[in-house]
Amino acid sequence: MVHEIIQTHCAQCSPDEMVPHTILKEGTEPLIKCKQCGAIHQYRIPKTKSVDIRIVVSTGDHSSTHRLSLDSDKIVSIDDEFMVEDELHDQANFVLVTSIESGDKRVDSAKADEILTLWARSTDKVIAKISITRGWQTDTIDLQVPGDREFSVGETISRGPDVFRIKKIKIRNGRFTENEGEPIKAKYIKRIFTDSVERIEWLNRPAPKKTKKGSPMYTNKSIIKPRGSNTWTLKTKERD
């Protein structure tokens, strides 16, 4: 005796809405009994058809339109990852869904056959925006990296002659992390905040003799506030 229940239509009492059925006999075409009216019938496993969905993929600062073939009953949600074929450039890109258009509104998730357009961004190649604080000024550089490249606070990155250390990461959901060693994939990163190595050395230098005299670095706390355990330890030592 099988006690499994499946939800399906009953030709006898409920042709439109799904109602619970008990499985009498399993197999490729199970024999099922409607719990509502007791009718016994054969269960036909529904064949999913596939639908072609328009998907607009943004890569860096340009976007391109593609077709994505999905099972019609597949639920698509924001942040879902798909592989999109790019016939023009003969490549397949991983993309991350950023917005779903269903009917005339934007939704967080929808069934594939109810989706009008998907908006996504390419994750294969992503631009990591990196802010580098050197001295009193902050530069931003764009670093092109694979979407799966992981960055974490405390990591040292070099680019040409530049060497800088990650102090904070802004994630695409708006969250910031300053947790040292927490790896974040580039495709989820909005911006990486770093200090140039010269600046770190400068922050960690021995304390100047006359701090009271009001050197500019003590006037703006938000600029000079050291981040990370290393600098805090040193600061404590400086006070001793």
For Zn ion, the closer CB: 23 or 143: 23
**Least distance in Å: CB of 4 to Zn ion?**
17
For Zn ion, the closer CB: 12 or 204: 12
User: Among 5, 6, 37, 45, which residue sits at the site for Zn ion (rule: CB under 5 A)?
Assistant: 37
For Zn ion, the closer CB: 39 or 163: 39
**Least distance in Å: CB of 45 to Zn ion?**
18
Q: Which two tokens stand for residue 98?
A: 């950023």
Q: Does 39 bind Zn ion (CB under 5 A)?
A: yes
For Zn ion, the closer CB: 11 or 75: 11
Cβ–Cβ under 8 Å, residues 145 and 121: no
Q: Does 32 bind Zn ion (CB under 5 A)?
A: no
Q: Does 13 bind Zn ion (CB under 5 A)?
A: yes
For the chain, the three-class secondary structure string (H helix, E strand, C coil) is: CCCCEEEEEECCCEEEEEEEEEEEECCCCCEEEECCCCCEEECCCCCCCEEEEEEEEEECCEEEEEEEEEECCCEEECCCEEEEEECCCCEEEEEEEEEEEECCEEECEEEHHHEEEEEEEECCEEEEEEEEEECCEEEEEEEEEECCCEECECCEEEECCEEEEEEEEEECCCCEECCECCCEEHHHEEEEEEEEHHHHHHHCCCCCCCCCCCCHHHCCHHHHCCCCHHHHHHHHHHHC
**Least distance in Å: CB of 25 to Zn ion?**
17
User: Among 22, 36, 64, 98, which residue sits at the site for Zn ion (rule: CB under 5 A)?
Assistant: 36
Q: Does 68 bind Zn ion (CB under 5 A)?
A: no
Q: Does 10 bind Zn ion (CB under 5 A)?
A: yes
User: Among 8, 9, 32, 34, which residue sits at the site for Zn ion (rule: CB under 5 A)?
Assistant: 34
User: Of 32-40, 62-70, 160-168, 224-232, which part binds Zn ion (CB under 5 A)?
Assistant: 32-40
Q: Does 223 bind Zn ion (CB under 5 A)?
A: no
Catalog residues that contact Zn ion under the rule CB under 5 A.
10, 12-13, 34, 36-37, 39
